[in-house]
Amino acid sequence: MASVLNVSAYLFTRIADPGVLRVSLRERAAAAGLRGTILLAEEGINLFLAGDADPLRGFVEDLRTDERFTALRTKDSWSDGVPFDKLLVKVKREIIRMDRPGVRPQDGRAPAVSPDTLRRWLDRGADDDGREVVLVDTRNAFEVDYGTFAGALDWRIERFTQFPDAASSHRDDLAGKTVVSFCTGGIRCEKAALYLRSEGVEAYQLDGGILGWFDAQGAAHWNGDCFVFDGREALDAGLTPARAAVSSLGS
């Protein structure tokens, strides 16, 4: 049985002192024996960590005692080894780079659609008001090639900073439709939905992203696997490594 807990989480929240917080979080994560990456910015936190279950859960629970991170939700999965070589804690300008300063999810989230609601819409072929539902994959092209929702739009972007221009050029194709943006864990599609709304598109984000969908709905309406940015390379719909890439990393 896989024994290493893998946790991914993000939260858009105002952080006035990311540099100070970086020092504290690195000390606490290192003391817990964790490996992975924590990104901090004035707009929030984004983390991918792995380690023994109890210390990792303790680290997350301790983080939630800070009122800025009370709403932090994790997506958990398991592996035989730790899919990271080391621990990195970095301060960035954005926790997910879009280069659109006017898109500020820390000031208010885009409306979200739960996996249960999206499943109902996809099963019936329309939303609750009978409008056509369009899925927009906000990930990079090479990620999409591992797997995506059946029928999802893929604009073949190479990095997320290209998404706004791609969205603007396809705005007329989305008019009058209910658009649901999605990504691996939710962070990109949250910014994407806000940008689409600023362009006049009726857009929502898939709450929890693809990993949340797998947890709630399995492989329904999905083709392939989901690329992840660690040594596991990709997860299948059961949230288990789809390839044996992690075996050489050890624990």
Question: Of 33, 66, 95, which closes a domain?
Answer: 95
Output the pLDDT for position 170.
Answer: 97
Q: Other CB atoms closer than 10 Å to residue 150's CB: what's the count?
A: 10
At 243, the pLDDT band (50, 70, 90 cuts) reads: low
Residues of the chain above pLDDT 90, percent: 95
CATH number of the domain encompassing residue 88: 3.30.70.100
Helix (H) or strand (E) holding 141: helix 141-144
What pLDDT sits at residue 231? 93
Contact status, residue 169 vs residue 124, Cβ threshold 8 Å: no
Q: What tokens does 204 get?
A: 């929502």
Of 41, 65, 95, the residue at which a domain comes to its end is 95
Q: How confident is the model at residue 246 (pLDDT cuts 50, 70, 90)?
A: very low
Same domain, 83 and 132: no
Task: Say if residue 8 is in the same domain as residue 52.
Answer: yes
Same domain? 82 vs 117: no
Residue 82, CB-side half-sphere exposure with 13 Å CA sphere: 18
Does 240 fall in a domain? no
Confidence of residue 157 (pLDDT cuts 50, 70, 90): very high
Integer Cα distance of 198 and 100 in angstroms: 11
- Average pLDDT estimate for 192-215: 97
Mean pLDDT of 89-104: 97
Does residue 241 form part of some domain? no
Q: Residue 190: is its pLDDT beyond 70? A: yes
Same domain, 155 and 215: yes
> Residues 64, 163: one domain?
no
Range of the domain at 155: 105-235
Phi then psi for 74, rounded to 5 degrees?
-105, 155
> For residue 244, is it within any domain?
no
Averaged pLDDT for residues 136-157: 98
Indicate whether 245 belongs to any domain: no
Report the CATH number at residue 215. Answer: 3.40.250.10
Residue matched to tokens 């492989």: 219
Same domain, 16 and 110: no
Could you give the angle at the alpha carbon of 180 between the alpha carbons of 222 and 49, nearest 5°? 65
In a domain, 251, yes or no: no
Q: Are residues 138 and 91 in the same domain?
A: no
The residue among 61, 95, 129 that closes a domain is 95
Q: What is the mean pLDDT of residues 76-91?
A: 96
Alpha-helix runs per DSSP H in the chain: 18-31, 53-64, 115-124, 141-144, 163-169, 171-174, 187-198, 209-217
Instruction: Tell me, yes or no, whether 247 lies in a domain.
Output: no
Are 135 and 182 a contacting pair, CB within 8 Å?
Answer: yes
Q: Which pLDDT belongs to residue 1?
A: 65
**Tokens representing 64?**
């939630």
Joined together, the tokens standing for residue 166 give 């791609």
Mean pLDDT, range 118-134, rounded to an integer: 97
What DSSP state is assigned to residue 1?
A: -
In terms of domains, do 161 and 84 share one? no
Tell whether the model's pLDDT for residue 245 goes beyond 90.
no
What is the pLDDT at residue 50?
98
Q: Looking at residue 112, what DSSP letter applies? A: E
Split into its structural domains, the chain has a count of: 2
* Residues 8 and 130 occupy one common structural domain: no
The model's pLDDT over 23-79, given as tens digits with 9 standing for 90+, comes to 999 999 999 999 999 999 999 999 999 999 999 999 999 999 999 999 999 999 999
- How many C-alpha atoms does 38 have within 13 Å on its Cβ side? 24
Per-residue pLDDT at 17 exceeds 60:
yes
pLDDT at 2: 77
Residue 250 pLDDT > 70:
no
Going by C-beta distance under 8 Å and a sequence separation of 6 or more, which residues neighbour residue 226? 146, 147, 184, 210, 211, 214, 234, 235, 236
Query: Is 189 an active-site residue?
Result: no
State the average pLDDT over residues 119-123.
Answer: 98
Structure-token pair, residue 193 = 């939905």
Output the pLDDT for position 249: 36
C-alpha distance across the termini of the chain, in Å: 14
SS3 state at 177: coil
> How many C-beta atoms surround the C-beta of residue 163 within 10 A?
26
Question: Does residue 85 belong to any structural domain of this protein?
Answer: yes
Closest CA to 209 of 74, 100, 64: 74
User: Which residues are bridge partners to 241 per DSSP?
Assistant: 235
Residues 77, 8, single domain; the answer is: yes
In Å, what is the CA distance from 44 to each residue of 31, 145, 198?
23, 29, 21
Catalytic position from the list 82, 183, 193, 210 = 183
The conformation of residue 97, written as its DSSP 8-state character, comes to -
Q: Residue 100: inside a domain, yes or no?
A: no
Task: Please provide residue 240's backbone torsions phi and psi, each rounded to the nearest 5 degrees.
Answer: -115, 155
Say yes or no: 149 and 54 in one domain.
no
Mean pLDDT score of the chain, rounded to an integer? Answer: 95
Residue 172 has pLDDT above 70, yes or no: yes
Together in a domain, 90 and 109: no
